[in-house]
Structure 1
Amino acid sequence: MTFPIRLQFLGAHSGVTGSKTLLEWNKQRFLVDCGLFQGPSAVRQMNWVDLPVPADSIAAVFITHAHLDHIGYLPRLYQQGFRGPIYCSEGTYDLAQIILLDSAHLEEESARFARETQYSNHQNPLPLFTTQDAENVLKKFKPIPRYEWTTVGDGISIRLHRAGHIIGASLVEIRMHSDRHSKTVTFSGDVGHEDSLTLKGPDPLPPSDIVILEGTYGDRLHERVDATEKLGTFLKQAIDRQGVVVIPAFAVGRSQEIIYMIAQLEQQGVIPVVPVVLDSPMSDKALKAFFSHDEDHRVNSSFNRHTNFYPQNFETSTSADQSMLATMRDGPAIVISASGMLAGGRILHHLKKRLPDPRNMVVFCGYQAEGTKGRFLQDNSATLKTLRIHHKEVELAAEIVTISNLSAHADYAQLCAWLKQTPHKPRKILINHGQPEAQGSLVEHIKKELGWDAAASSVQTTWDFL
């Protein structure tokens, strides 16, 4: 007997956050990724909406990687009654512990601040989820090794493959079999590329009937220039004028890559030795997790955590007092802080201090989602005179630059080249995790370059396959 496969995109079908895909087969429900919506207030409000199906009807959750837009809704899922297992790689589990607990702390602090300052439309502002919720759902994680089949339900198994995006990031291959019939659906999660200095690229796509592919950069090409060389040019310009370089960087993945790049530039004599401050407690913890998973490090990588990974004058800032001192120090210096899209956190305090001085520089080195403060500054820096931070207008005189090819996402050319490695033509490729125009563009590239059947999840959120 053949059972139909139903896929329903509950998030990331028209944007790049809130990744959640409901998979239904043989009267069983599974969720692939369970992320938060991020961006402007109207988008974040969707995180307060319960799933359209009872949470306790979901048999298990499969996680591709530990970024908040892929795991951040898990505590909310637990609140709604989910008690099943959560399958992921060892690296993803290690990072999830850091990210979920940090996110819960920020939620609680935000709610406390709103109550104390009465800066809320609600009489008693509540956090989206609590530390206890995060601790509860972390107990449901079941890390599994890559490349081995794991039975997760009646007639259904999963196998993980490296995705090359961050530590632990994995393609999730799902095999469903009944009688003599078998179908395979593979979720790419976020796909990396071969240009990282520290991480291996993605494994080839396994033979699959249906592929759910991310389309973050489906309409863009990264610059084909040496990212380290470009970073060195920017840093030298700011250092030469005694400026402070502020780098908004995602705590997981990007911060570690940037630290190593700066160390390489120092060792090559491209830039002088200056103070380099990592002002992000979560980045500091993620750095330790990074070194615990050399299975994802580049083969024969030249970095060594004890000799040449760190810049010579490197320091971490973990306490609030240390962070405040970092905002007050004179240049030249380099500060790496989060959040990477300027959505909140310590980076905003650095910007308030540094934006009014033309000697200073802000270097964007990661994807800035539509509606975020980072995207607004990136797109409008040439004409902006001020930027609103913490309800106040801050003068904008610092130089704003972008290194686009430091993204941990593959662009459309890299995605098509990666797809070509598989000898098995999928029956269907569905694009999600991208703006509608990016999804549509990637669909056309796949059809033209590979001759494969592809469609965008932005045009239809529910798909049935026999």
Structure 2
Amino acid sequence: MRMTFYGATATVTGSKTLVEVGGLKLLVDCGMFQGFKTLRERNWAPLPFDPASLDAVLLTHAHIDHSGTLPLLTRQGFKGPIWTTSGTADLCEVLLQDTAHLQEEEAYYRNRHGKTRHEPAEPLYTVKDVKACLKHFHRVATDGAIELGQGVRVRFSPAGHILGAASIAIEYQGKTALFSGDLGREDDLVMQPPQTGQQADWVVIESTYGDRLHPAMDPIEKLGDVVRRTAARGGVVIIPAFAVGRTQGLLYALYRLKEAGAIPNLPVVLDSPMGISATGLYERHHNEHRLSTEECEGIRHMTRFVRDVEESKALLSQRYPMVIIAGSGMVTGGRVLHHIEHYGPHSRNAIVLSGFQAGGTRGASLAAGASSIKLFGEYVPIRAEVAQIEGLSAHADQAGLLNWLKGLAKQPEHVFINHGEPQAADTLRLRINEQLGWQASVPDYKDSVDLT
């Protein structure tokens, strides 16, 4: 068995790991790079392996940093199946089509307004590419297994985090390589905790929060504080949020605050077609999360859902306090750019960053206190209050990652740490060495490891 790391090394984006086992070539995840320009440019380069040579893709979950370049993979020659859970397949249909649509919209906007250095600006892929890609999806039970032939067996186990998220174990000749995928929290507002107790000889674990713990403060209470003081000064709260997972957690938090009378009865707007569709899928897959039918209905009645572009634009002319949730979560694209462009320059408003912001993103710049950010080719001043609420993250923190490892049925031969900024990944490596006494390392881009 051989593993080669083609993404999520020294970054939390672009997850891609090639596994060669039993004569098969399997790709675990096929995510989009985000953040620094040097990373984003990898999305436009030819894939570093031959897509046509792959036998299958194993997809841990639907977030774009894990699934976002699947349409490129199929466009460039991949013919095999994409194996994943039903929840992930449903979400990918929403996320990938919306991602393509947003790219097409942004290219059109840049071309129309002459805000591009490339003539003409083009999307990375189109809705047509996505529709062709979706034909390759094959569904597996959330806690199920498949036989790929050549003696290779693959097991999926719930990872928490978001709807359909799974850890993936590849078994061959009595040996197992386990990929954690993105692990959820034991105390997540919406999702059930990740399954533990798997048996593995080698483990690849994410490290998004590998160097820190989630704060002990109540994130719902902190969110309520921001909403109350912004409403008191007549402002608007803008919350950049990923359409899947973060959006549903935020809506539930706002629902609880309203039910408790802890914030004014101001409008809550979800300005995200992708987020709206994803929220509906959480209701359909109700057995995979903590929310009751009553809570789902309460969230739906509380929220104003905005799909139409003109209705979204009309939000910019409102003069009363409200909360607007819009994508994307790291302010890398989507409708939230227009809201920040409009509301960001005014001190009565607030921008709430509700989770991890990867280096090189606009979200990271806002979190660092930037006085302006570049939007649509021009710098926009930021005078709005910027608040970061870490406790709403759907990722396990350092303690959660270590507890998941401790829960394995046996000590693995080696742990490979990916999907983390350099400091986070190396800190987790040290903790694994010191606290567990296990061998661990942090692979670099294109590193290849022969496990046999």
Shorter-chain TM-score range: over 0.9
Which of the residues 295, 299, 302 maps onto 1:309? 299
In 2, Cα distance between the equivalents of 1:248 and 1:222?
Answer: 20
The counterpart of 1:233, out of the listed 199, 203, 225, is 225
**Counterpart-to-counterpart distance in 1, 2:435 and 2:139:** 37
Q: TM-score normalized by structure 1?
A: 0.93
The residue that corresponds to 2:12 in the other structure is: 16
1:418 deviates by: 1.9
Q: Does 1:465 align with 2:437?
A: no
Aligned partner of 1:160 among 143, 156, 162:
156
In the superposition, relative to structure 1, how do residues 150 and 275 fare at CA in structure 2: closer, same or farther (>3 Å)? same
The answer to whether the Cα contact below 8 Å between 2:345 and 2:382 also exists between their aligned partners in 1 is: yes
Deviation of 1:107 after TM superposition, in Å, equals 2.5
Identity %, equivalent residues: 40
Maintained 8 Å contact 1:248/1:365 = yes
CA contact (8 A) 2:159 2:194 kept: yes
Aligned to 2:435: 449
Where does residue 35 of structure 1 map in the other structure? Answer: 31
Paired residue secondary structure (1:458)? coil
Query: 1:202 aligned to 2:194?
Result: yes
Gaps of 5+ in 1: none
Question: 1-side partners of 2:117 and 2:347: how far apart?
Answer: 38
| Coordinate RMSD, CA, aligned | 1.7
5 Å-filtered alignment, 1:360-371, equals: 360-371=349-360
Q: 1:421 aligns with which of 400, 407, 412?
A: 407
- Using a 3 Å threshold, how does the CA distance of structure 1 residues 328 and 195 change in structure 2: closer, same or farther? farther
Change (3 A) 1:16 1:87: same
Q: What TM-score results when the alignment is normalised by the length of structure 2? A: 0.96
Taking the aligned partners of 1:309 and 1:61, their CA distance within structure 2 comes to: 35
Aligned counterpart, 2:210: 218
1:71–1:96 contact (8 Å) kept in structure 2 = yes
Shift of 1:125: 3.7
1:403 aligns with 2:395: no
Cα shift at 1:460: 7.5
Instruction: Indicate yes or no: 2:64 matched with 1:64.
Output: no
Provide the secondary structure at the position in 1 that maps to 2:25: strand
Contact 1:92 1:167 in 2 (8 A): yes
Name the structure 2 match of 1:141: 137
Aligned mates of 1:206, 1:435 — CA distance in 2: 26
CA apart distance, 1:208: 0.4
User: Is 1:51–2:47 an aligned residue pair?
Assistant: yes
1:380 & 1:219 partners in 2: Cα distance? 21
Instruction: Tell me: CA distance 1:245–1:440, structure 2 relative to 1, closer, same or farther (3 Å).
Output: same
Partner letter of residue 448 of structure 1? E
Q: Verify the 8 A CA contact 2:3 2:18 in the aligned structure 1.
A: yes
Cα 1:459–1:36 change in 2 (3 A) is closer
Deviation at 1:186, TM superposition (A): 0.8
Confirm whether residue 340 of structure 1 aligns to residue 329 of structure 2: yes
Q: Is this contact kept in 2: 1:365–1:402, CA < 8 A?
A: yes
Q: Render the CA deviation track for 1:188-234: whole Å, top value 9, x for unaligned.
A: 11001022222101000411001110011111111012111121122
The AA in structure 2 aligned to 1:110 is E
Which amino acid in structure 2 is aligned with residue 68 of structure 1? I
CA drift at 1:368: 0.5
> Structure 1, residues 147-204: CA drift from partner, whole Å, max 9, x if none?
3321013111111111101000000111112xxxx11111111001022222101000
* Contact kept in structure 2, 1:260 and 1:311, CA below 8 Å: no
Partner of 2:254: 262
Task: Give the 3-state SS of the residue equivalent to 2:42 in structure 1.
Answer: helix
Unaligned runs of 5+ in 2: none
Give the direction of change, closer, same or farther, for the CA distance of 1:122–1:391 in structure 2 (3 Å limit).
Answer: closer
